């Protein structure tokens, strides 16, 4: 705010009758207006010298006020700039939303039809795993999905706690159950007015394969696991560190196992074409950094009922319907 004090003491004017005017408590504009009223109502009491001095003071204050207000305007972000900061496009239809100043990067996944499950690009890696069979056709509507796994910074912003074993704001949240994730999503939706949800495994696999830009990789974004996974250590790494996939999504192979909603059963799929299949039970996808190459494949499924331990290697990413 442009205060009288900010305009370098241009405030104290002594007129005849020993009247002292010192409006440091007012804004510069209100103080300046008050001084003009005082001057023109009391000018008959001024000597000629005082009139000249007061007029010079009026000019100096006016010039200083204009300069101060112009500087303030230049430094204040416009409403459009604030809107752009909180919800700005990345590329195409991708977008960045935020909650409490923490960004939520979302990638737009154009709907389409794909073959889900064990197919040729997996070579013979999925032959022993009947839960990835039979492959079948799935058609999905368009949706948004998280560019990154949900970070600890975002989790803390929404929930006020951090359950993770491996601590770090830009690390994915880990050690979370399906129930805890649903609690997070409910709170996030209350705070933002959005309709975030946990993706189905069909949505997850379609996005991991690169959607309608898929190049048929074994892992999400490459046939070379070292390009997309920080293998050899169960510890997590900062999200977005490794190479993204065809849609610009990171860490869909490795970092943490990602919770999704299962379709069909953990024993395998139904051999029929479907559109937007739903599920209510939890399934894990993508593998963590400490497992073997089989679990980083885009078609790998891991039933949560067979998951051992305390969910240390489990996290998730958000999905959002188009508005």
For residue 293, give the CATH number of its domain: 3.90.1580.10
Say if residue 91 is in the same domain as residue 177: yes
State the sign of the Cα–Cα–Cα–Cα dihedral 309, 163, 143, 214. Answer: negative
CA 11 to chain centre: 48
Domain that holds residue 183: 82-320
Residues 6+ apart with CB under 8 A from 157: 99, 100, 101, 102
Residue pair 39/52 in contact by the 8 Å Cβ criterion: no
Last-in-domain residue among 75, 100, 133: 75
Predicted local confidence at residue 59, as pLDDT: 58
Task: Looking at the structure, tell me whether residues 16 and 91 fall in a common domain.
Answer: no
Residues 52 and 92 in one domain: no
**Tokens at 254, concatenated:** 């490795």
- The helix (run of H) or strand (run of E) holding residue 115 is strand 112-116
What the block records as the tokens of 62 is 């006016």
pLDDT at 29: 47
Determine contact, residues 241/177, Cβ cutoff 8 Å: no
Are 190 and 304 members of one domain?
Answer: yes
The CA-atom distances, in angstroms, between 285 and each of 38, 107, 177 are 76, 18, 14
d(CA 146, CA 321): 12
CA dist 260 and 198 (Å) reads 6
Together in a domain, 157 and 241: yes
189 and 249 housed in the same domain: yes
CA gap 198, 81 in Å, rounded: 31
For position 140, what pLDDT does the model report? 96
Indicate the SS3 state at residue 40: helix
**pLDDT for 119:** 78
The pair of three-digit structure tokens given for residue 11, joined into one six-digit string: 């405030």
What are the CA-CA distances from residue 13 to residues 18, 30, 40, 168 (Å)?
Answer: 9, 16, 14, 58
User: Using CA atoms, how far apart are residues 4 and 30, in angstroms rounded to an integer?
Assistant: 9
Each residue's pLDDT expressed in tens, for the chain with a length of 323 residues: 454 444 333 333 343 333 333 333 334 444 445 444 444 455 555 565 555 555 555 555 555 555 555 555 544 434 333 333 334 433 347 889 999 999 999 999 999 999 988 777 666 666 556 667 778 889 999 999 999 999 999 999 999 999 999 999 999 999 999 999 999 999 999 999 999 999 999 999 999 999 999 999 999 999 999 999 987 677 899 999 999 999 999 999 999 999 999 876 666 677 788 899 988 888 999 999 888 778 899 888 888 665 555 567 899 999 999 98
Note whether 126 and 188 are same-domain residues: yes
Phi, psi (rounded to 5 degrees) for 138: -130, 135
| Structural domains of the chain, count | 2
Q: Are residues 253 and 276 in the same domain?
A: yes
Asked whether residue 180 falls in the same domain as residue 103, the answer is: yes
| 260 touches 204 (CB < 8 A) | yes
Q: Final residue of a domain: which of 75, 93, 110?
A: 75
Q: Are residues 61 and 100 in the same domain?
A: no
Q: Which of 59, 75, 91 is the last residue before a domain boundary?
A: 75
CB 149 within 8 A of CB 315: yes
- Whether residues 257 and 127 fall in one domain: yes
The answer to whether residues 92 and 179 belong to one domain is yes
Nearest to 145 by CA among 279, 316, 313: 316
Q: How far is CA 284 from CA 38, 84, 253, 266, 281, in A?
A: 76, 35, 12, 10, 10
Contact yes or no for 185/197 (Cβ under 8 A): yes
């Amino acid at each position: 705010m442009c205060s009288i004090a900010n305009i370098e003491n241009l405030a104290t004017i002594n007129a005849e009758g020993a009247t002292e005017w010192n409006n440091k408590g007012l804004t510069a504009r209100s103080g300046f207006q008050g001084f003009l009223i005082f001057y023109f109502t009391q000018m008959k009491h001024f000597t000629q010298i005082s009139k000249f001095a007061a007029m010079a003071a009026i000019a100096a204050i006016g010039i200083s006020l204009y300069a101060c207000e112009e500087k303030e305007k230049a430094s204040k972000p416009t409403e459009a700039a604030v809107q752009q900061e909180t919800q700005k496009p990345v590329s195409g239809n991708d977008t960045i939303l935020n909650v409490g100043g923490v960004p939520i990067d979302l990638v737009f996944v154009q709907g389409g039809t794909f073959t889900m499950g064990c197919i040729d690009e997996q070579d013979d890696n999925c032959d022993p795993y009947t839960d990835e069979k039979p492959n079948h056709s799935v058609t999905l509507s368009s949706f948004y999905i998280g560019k990154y796994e949900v970070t600890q910074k975002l989790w803390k912003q929404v929930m006020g706690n951090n359950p993770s074993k491996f601590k770090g704001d830009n690390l994915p949240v880990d050690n979370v159950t399906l129930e805890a994730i649903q609690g997070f999503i409910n709170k996030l939706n209350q705070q933002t007015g959005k309709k975030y949800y946990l993706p189905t495994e069909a949505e997850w696999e379609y996005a991991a394969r690169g959607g309608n830009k898929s190049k048929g990789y074994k892992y999400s974004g490459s046939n070379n696991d070292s390009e997309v996974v920080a293998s050899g250590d169960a510890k997590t790494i900062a999200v977005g560190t490794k190479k993204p996939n065809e849609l610009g999504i990171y860490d869909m192979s490795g970092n943490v196992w990602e919770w999704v909603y299962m379709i069909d059963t953990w024993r395998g799929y139904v051999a029929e074409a479907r559109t937007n299949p739903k599920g209510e039970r939890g399934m894990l996808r993508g593998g963590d950094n400490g497992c073997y190459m089989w679990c980083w494949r885009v078609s790998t499924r891991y039933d949560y009922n067979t998951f051992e331990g305390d969910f240390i290697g489990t996290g998730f990413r958000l999905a959002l319907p188009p508005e």
